[in-house]
Structure 1
Amino acid sequence: MINEQIRDKEVRLIGPDGEQLGIMSAREAMAKAQEAELDLVKIAPQAKPPVCKIIDYGKYRYELARKEKEAKKKQKTIDVKEVRLSPNIDTNDLNTKAGAARKFLTKGDRVKVTLRFRGREMAHMSSSKHVLDDFAEMLKDVAVVEKAAKVEGRSMTMFLAQKH
């Protein structure tokens, strides 16, 4: 809330240099802000009495936007990468897929390991779980199983996350 939008009876006022000007009516605070040719901005509405500050509102909004942008720059987004396997995968192929998953995990991403079943492979779903177990075993030095293997339709999925 700024300027005329502030309808409180009394407010705690902070001057443009950050000094405490004490508790006064909102009208008096507004007069002081106009005298300094700046805006009266409510910065802590939940306080008793609410805290208002005399500042340049445009500059204040710009500073807030800049801080928000800076915070966004520093945060890392965690992506979910997918590695697809088949029940009758060969050892070398499994090693290659494990290498790719290892690379994703070291970058800080989560890995979704999908074991896809096609045609007659559907009849042997339970005996193919060992492929996912072997995969998790190969990566146990860098990964931890976040969600255990679970059957969803024609595939079995498992999630791996980076070990801390």
Structure 2
Amino acid sequence: MFRKLPVYCFGKYKFNANIINKVSALLKIKPSLANEDINFFGDVRLLDAQNKLIGVFACEEARKKADKLGQDLIMINQEIKPALCKVCDYSDELASKFMNDIVKIREQQKLNDQHFKLSHTITMQDLKLKVNQAKDLIKKQNTLRVTIICPIETAIQAKSILYTLKDLSQAFMIPKGEIKTRDFKEKEVFDKKKDPQEQVQLDIEFEAIEKIEHNLDLPQIKIERLINQYYSKSLQEKTEDEQDLADLFKVQQPEKEKEKEKEKKVEEKQKTKLEEMMDDSEFDFEFQDASTNQQSYYLKDGNLSKYVKLYKMIEWSQGRK
């Protein structure tokens, strides 16, 4: 019979233990015991959802207070005296941390990687089109970084373009600071004979005048699907990291074993000199060795010259051993 997974029944989200374990793993925290899973009979210090102390109560009384408030009772730490518990909507709190600490940050990192790049030779018409694109983009991420990479002698012209961009977009975004200039070097120089041209990189970051609060209020099925996606991805990344680590610290065979394997391969590939001579049509002899496991030979005819060659061959073979 399958064990019924506990469901935390207060708040908007009602995660079972499976989802709670996945979210906790993503947040790198230990899952907390909640409600009827708490098997504790001593006194507890009770905190509210804002981590303010409510008071010290017996555990059963604290459970009743949580039920009265329509929230979950969470065991934070039962190793201390008195133990520490919290009244909150456990699933909702985990969902909020997941969206803010993982989803929001990772999405922001993706958007930051897709920063705006302009050319130092851009025309005014193209610059106005870029302003319209910036207007749509900053609505999604609230911040925007604009970059120009140009030869050092055109740096003044590039700065002028950024100032023009600032003037054209002042209705919906403002710069967070001044233009930053630094040396830029290409990762690869394909033409080694040609001296690399000195270049500079100019960056300026903008922020939206009217910042949009992203709605994190997702339906139950959507947030569970999102949790499962991130959890599967984290497992895949972990597997890839472990494989890379195993490849890096791969246990190598001892030198003696390597030499033995090498010798074995050489022996398999190369015929011995004796076998080559036996295959020669000039000689007409056979092995006669059924039970004694000793090498003995006889000639099919009485040709003396063949016998002499065979004798030398056997003598060489035995000396080799």
Q: CA RMSD in A?
A: 3.8
Matched letter for residue 18 of structure 1? K
Alignment of 1:29-68 (within 5 A): 43=76, 64-68=90-94
Instruction: Considering fraction of residues, name the structure with more helix.
Output: 2
CA distance in 2, matches of 1:150, 1:140: 19
Instruction: Considering fraction of residues, name the structure with more strand.
Output: 1
CA distance in 2, matches of 1:140, 1:107: 17
CA distance in 2, matches of 1:70, 1:111: 25
Which residue does 1:136 correspond to in 2?
166
Which residue does 2:57 correspond to in 1?
12
Which segments of 5 or more consecutive residues in structure 1 lack a partner in the other structure?
20-39, 54-59
Q: How far has the Cα of 1:109 moved from its partner?
A: 3.3
CA distance in 2, matches of 1:13, 1:51: 11
CA distance in 2, matches of 1:73, 1:159: 25
Q: What SS does the corresponding residue of 1:141 show, helix, strand or coil?
A: coil
TM-score with structure 1 setting the length: 0.60
Matched letter for residue 182 of structure 2? E
Alignment of 1:100-115 (within 5 A): 100-115=133-148
Q: How far has the Cα of 1:106 moved from its partner?
A: 2.1
Alignment of 1:91-106 (within 5 A): 91-106=124-139
Select the structure with the greater relative contact order (CA < 8 A; seq sep ≥ 6): 1
- Return the match for 1:161 from 207, 219, 231: 207
Q: How far has the Cα of 1:52 moved from its partner?
A: 5.6
Q: How far has the Cα of 1:66 moved from its partner?
A: 4.6
Which segments of 5 or more consecutive residues in structure 2 lack a partner in the other structure?
1-32, 45-55, 67-72, 184-199, 211-321
| Residues 43 and 106 (structure 1), Cα distance of their counterparts in 2 relative to 1, 3 Å cut | closer
CA contact (8 A) 1:13 1:52 kept: no
Matched letter for residue 162 of structure 2? L
Give the aligned length: 129
Which residue does 2:255 correspond to in 1?
none
Matched letter for residue 94 of structure 2? E
Question: What percentage of residue pairs aligned between the two structures are identical?
Answer: 18
TM-score with structure 2 setting the length: 0.33
Q: What SS does the corresponding residue of 1:88 show, helix, strand or coil?
A: coil
CA distance in 2, matches of 1:51, 1:150: 49
Runs of 4+ in structure 1 deviating by more than 6 angstroms, as ranges, are none
CA distance in 1, matches of 2:164, 2:206: 13
CA contact (8 A) 1:12 1:52 kept: no
Q: How far has the Cα of 1:108 moved from its partner?
A: 3.5
